[in-house]
A and B are shown apart, each in its own frame.
Chain A
Amino acid sequence: MTSAIVMHGLTKDYGSGHGLFDLDLGVSEGEVFGFLGPNGAGKTTTIRLLMGVIHATSGTATVFGLDCDRDSVAVKREVGYLPGELPQFGGMRGSEVVAYLVAMRGGIDRSRVRELSERLELDLGRRFREYSRGNKQKLGLVLAFMHRPRLLILDEPTSGLDPLNQQTFHHLVGEVKAAGSTVFLSSHVLSEVEETCSRVGIIREGRLVSDMTMDKVHELRFHEVVIEFGGDVPEAAIRAAAGVEDVAVEGRRLTCTVHGGFDALLAAINGSTVLDMVSKEPSLESIFLSYYSK
């Protein structure tokens, strides 16, 4: 599979430890890549480097083999972009904003604009300043998707959208993926990443801390286990069991987390009287929070 995006040692140093540092990351064509991280982690900086809006301190970024800095005009022919926040277009109507920006690209697919604005239930006849936050976001999505780009770079695309329109967005991403396009999106919304992405990267303090497929993410899942014993708690055996962590005992009640299989834990409690045992699968959010807090 060919690469849509390749970043090598990409660095944008704003000083005082802020920015993006030594990012090595590739996104294959046809992939939907989720870029996750807390506020100020460097997600938007990465996106703006890819768009050639800011210049890297060092390192390189390419899109379909084109240098994002040197060949930024050619790159943008292939890209649909949604910034983190749309600028103020004041009294211009939504239809005029679309026509104005699309003219800079050279052509317009009217049927696609109509299809997108209908699906997102966006009235393009209203003035930009009358739009709610959600409607501005929908306009941004129309602008990003309208020319059927090979690569979509979306900065927090569902921010401000209601659940129905979030669902529409997920369908749109599924459709463009099916059509062979690549999507690079940053997000805080884990359900969105879980639903739309095939791979995720986690960034913290300007550094990539993890890059894995969703299957791998699911493998990372662990279980929170609560056991109520009828007699003595075999605490020492449980603590020694492989894959068992965060053991806490309160009376005859023990809580722990179990990574991987349950065999070691079951062996450790073998022979003890177990009155009750509950195992819960944590949310994906808990998995990522454990990454962020490391």
Chain B
Amino acid sequence: MSPRLLLRLHRIGLIAMAYFGIFYVLVNSAAFPLIAGKTRASQEAFGHSITVLGATFSWLLPLPVRPDTAAGYLQWRGYGFFAIAFAAWGLLSACGAVRRDEDRGLVESWLSSGIPRLRLLATRSLFFAGLSAEIVTLAGAAGWLGCLIGGTPVEVGGMVGESAALWALTLACFGVGLLVSQLVSDFRAAASAGSALLVLMFLLDSIGRSSVNRAPFSDISVFFLFNKSNAVAPGGTFDPTATVLLFVTAAVTTIVASLGFVRRDVGSGLIRTRPRRAADVHDASANPLLRIPIVRGLWIRRVGSLSWTAGMAVTAAAVVLLVNVTATFFATTPSLSLYLRGLPGDVHTVLLALIWLSFAQALVAIFAITCVSRWSGDDSSGVLEMQLAEPLPRWGVLGERAAELTVTVTVMSFAAMAVILALAPAEGISIDVGSMLSATALLVPFALTFAAAGALLAGWRPRVAVVVLSTVAVISYLVFELGPLFKWPDWANNLSVFQLYGTPLITPVFVGGLIAMLAIVVVGFGSAGVVLARRDVAA
């Protein structure tokens, strides 16, 4: 197992966390003086607004401590979200390292080369520990640098302590993932069971934080242990006992997982379901959905598509329910009123438009990127070759992919729209249904814009398609979000793909942007068709 191979196996998590960890804290800490103002009075007013907002968000993030300072703001906005993101990364990396690599036959081939099981798991764990340490350190350094750029330096000691706690949380979740993966026999089951466990621990901590009475057993939550430290914030503390307990959790779960790995059969879990006693099947599936072009792909990927739809609907609901408190926050924060200045209509509608549609754009862009990732994978795994072994033209495969994505994004977007329209009246938000329909419909060409560029990249260089597209998406999103805040010139703001969408809920449809998106879709998929027709498959 060379470090290069291990790095390759962790590449998706590595890229995602590097983007998120470094850019997110760098931007949030550097932008503090722009958001909160440069005078002490404006920063105190900002801090008060954040405290009010933080109380509403206490189910999600710990209560803010000294949010009138860059360090306190970074603690709340940065490390609060990091707990969720790094925990998820740790869990999924462990599930992938055990179950996905086992599905691929990698584990079997490593073991057959003479590597003992304990050494294999120890190597994977130590490699991830090293990798996560690097990302956590880089994120900490980015936060420190961001605060320095913003003119409000933070204490290095506090940053080191918080980074240690974050690293310990990540490793504890990795350990949980390793352990759960020994129990079940496939990646999906491991990721689902592990996620359920983490959500339960998150809720234990969250309920304890946002209610008068602490939830029972909340002490056993890894999130509770992590949130005992808030060392970045001025006056915050680093809890060494809680951090050590997180490391102990990581060590114990990893050791127990190792024992489970030694005991179980490769390819199966410790929990074994009773073998199916049904008679052998010798017929092709009678499912009519598998025979209809486009529908067959939707059916095969139904679980993922429904998860995306549910996730988008839940996000939409959360945004609607938080619009009122956010409106108060924006109204009391002069720098943020920049976003609202000059925009017509009721402030609640404007905020819903700005927040929801920016979330929705990001979500459908991410969904399009995951589709591109699958298309690239179909090429290298041989699925595309099998499809092309049937009398199906290459452009037909491309067209089916585009149509499938279109249908899924349409369902996701309109399901979220239905949730918004159902909840908005109760929150006192008036929404023009026609505008909402236009805004929702526009998400489809927006997603297709990413998909078309991705299809072209996947047809040309499948291995680099996802990396390039992700980079474009992240830079576009940052430009889109930060341009108005940093008062960047129009030409810079217009570099963002997100600008093409416009603000359709509060202003008329941006026809120029729509034409540009459609042009990218036509040219992108057209070129992708030419490239796919000319190139060798799986070469």
Check if B382 sits within 8 Å of A87, measured CB to CB: yes
For B382, the chain A residues whose CB sits under 8 A away are 83, 85-88
Determine if A110 and B389 form an interchain contact, defined as CB atoms under 8 angstroms apart: no
Judge if A124 is at the interface, Cβ distance under 8 Å. yes
A148 within 8 A of B: no
Which residue in chain B gives the minimum CB-CB distance to A129?
A: B103
Whether A54 contacts B537 by the Cβ 8 Å rule is yes
Interface string of A229-256 (1 = CB under 8 A from B): 0000000000000000000000000000
Contact of B390 with A by CB under 8 A: yes
Give the distance in Å from the alpha carbon of A278 to the alpha carbon of B382 in the complex: 52
How near does chain A come to B225, taking the closest CB pair, in angstroms? Answer: 36
What is the CB-to-nearest-CB distance from B533 to chain A, in angstroms, rounded to a whole number?
9
CB pair A124–B282 under 8 Å, yes or no, is yes
Q: Mark B366-380, 1 if CB is under 8 A from A, else 0.
A: 000000000000100
**Interfacial chain B residues near A129, Cβ < 8 Å:** 103, 186
B385's partner among A53, A113, A114 (CB-CB below 8 A) is A53
**A99-107, A202-210, A213-221 - the one binding chain B:** A99-107
The residues of A that contact B103 with a CB separation of less than 8 Å are 88, 129
B390 touches A99 (CB 8 A): no
Binary B-proximity of A164-187 (CB < 8 A = 1, otherwise 0): 000000000000000000000000
Q: Which residues of B contact A76 (CB under 8 A)?
A: 388-392
Is A104 a contact partner of B381 (Cβ separation < 8 A)?
A: no
* Min CB gap B396→A, angstroms: 8
Interface presence of A226 (CB below 8 A): no
Interface residues of A in 107-151 (CB under 8 A from B): 108, 110, 113-114, 117-118, 122-125, 129
Contact (Cβ within 8 A) B385 A103: no
Q: Which of the listed residues B296, B378, B386, B390 has the most CB atoms from chain A within 10 Å of its own CB?
A: B390
> Contact check: which of B280, B287, B391, B535 meets A104 at CB < 8 Å?
B391
The answer, yes or no, to whether A37 is at the interface (CB within 8 Å) is: no
Tell me if B387 counts as interface (CB < 8 A to partner A): yes
Establish whether residues B389 and A93, one from each chain, have CB atoms under 8 Å apart when the complex forms. no
| Residue A63 is within 8 A (CB to CB) of chain B in the complex | no
Residues of B within 8 A of A122 (CB): 282
Given A100-B300, A101-B386: A95 and B281 interface contact (C-beta under 8 Å) = yes
Q: A55–B534 contact, CB under 8 A?
A: yes
User: Taking the nearest CB of chain B, how far is it from the CB of A88, in angstroms?
Assistant: 6
Whether the pair B385, A83 counts as a contact (CB closer than 8 A) is yes
| Interface residues in B, total, Cβ within 8 A | 38
A86 proximity list for chain B (CB < 8 A): 382, 386
From A79, A91, A103, name the one whose CB has the most chain B CB atoms within 10 angstroms: A103
Query: Does A277 interact with chain B (Cβ within 8 Å)?
Result: no
Q: How far is the CB of B101 from chain A (nearest CB, A)?
A: 13
Assess whether B281 is in contact with A123, with CB atoms less than 8 Å apart: yes
Contact partners of A33 in chain B: CB under 8 A: none
Contacts of A118 in B (CB 8 A): 282
Residues of A with C-beta under 8 A to B387: 101, 104
- Taking the closest CB of chain B, its distance from the CB of A160, in whole angstroms, is 13
Interface readout for B288-301 with A: 1 if CB under 8 Å, 0 if not?
00111100100010
Q: Which residues of B contact A51 (CB under 8 A)?
A: 385, 388-389
Q: Are A123 and B280 in contact (CB under 8 A)?
A: yes
Summarize B's interface: helix, strand, loop or mixed: loop
Query: What A residues does B300 contact at CB under 8 A?
Result: 92, 96, 100
Within the assembled complex, what's the spacing in Å between the Cα atoms of A89 and B296?
14
B-facing residues in A53-105 (Cβ within 8 Å): 53-55, 72-74, 76-77, 79, 81, 83, 85-89, 91-96, 98-105
Q: Does A157 lie at the interface of the complex (its beta carbon under 8 Å from any beta carbon of B)?
A: no
B389 touches A81 (CB 8 A): yes
The CA-CA distance from A129 to B185 in the complex, in Å, is 11
Query: Are the CB atoms of B282 and A105 closer together than 8 Å?
Result: no
Q: How far is the CA of A228 from the CA of B391 in the complex (A)?
A: 64
Inter-subunit contact A108/B389 (CB<8 Å): no
- Choose one: A73, A87, A91, A114; the contact of B392 (CB below 8 Å): A73
Interface 1/0s, chain B 265-296, versus A by CB < 8 A? 00000000000101011111111001111001
User: Inside 8 A of B286's CB, which chain A residues have their CB?
Assistant: 99
Interface residues in B482-538 by Cβ distance below 8 A to A read 534-538
Q: Which of B293-329 contact A (CB under 8 A)?
A: 293, 296, 300
Docked complex Cα distance between A62 and B158 (Å): 72
Decide if B188 is an interface residue (CB 8 Å cutoff): yes
Residues of A within 8 A of B1 (CB): none
**Given the complex of chains A and B, what is the CA–CA distance between A169 and B202 in angstroms?**
56
Complex alpha-carbon distance, A106 and B390, angstroms:
9
A103 touches B296 (CB 8 A): yes
Contact A96 B287 (CB under 8 A): yes
Return B140 CB to nearest CB of chain A, in Å: 38
Q: List 6 A-B contacts (CB under 8 A).
A: A54-B539, A73-B393, A99-B286, A101-B387, A103-B291, A125-B281
The 10 closest A-B pairs by CB, nearest first: A125-B281, A87-B382, A104-B390, A54-B536, A99-B285, A103-B291, A123-B280, A95-B285, A98-B284, A117-B282
Taking beta carbons and an 8 Å cutoff, which residues of B are in contact with A?
103, 186, 188, 276, 278, 280-287, 290-293, 296, 300, 378, 381-383, 385-393, 534-539
> Interface residues, chain A, CB within 8 Å of chain B?
48, 51-55, 72-74, 76-77, 79, 81, 83, 85-89, 91-96, 98-106, 108, 110, 113-114, 117-118, 122-125, 129
15 extra A-B contacts, CB within 8 A, seeds A98-B284, A110-B283: A48-B385, A51-B385, A52-B388, A72-B388, A87-B386, A95-B284, A96-B300, A99-B284, A99-B290, A100-B296, A104-B387, A114-B282, A123-B282, A124-B283, A129-B186
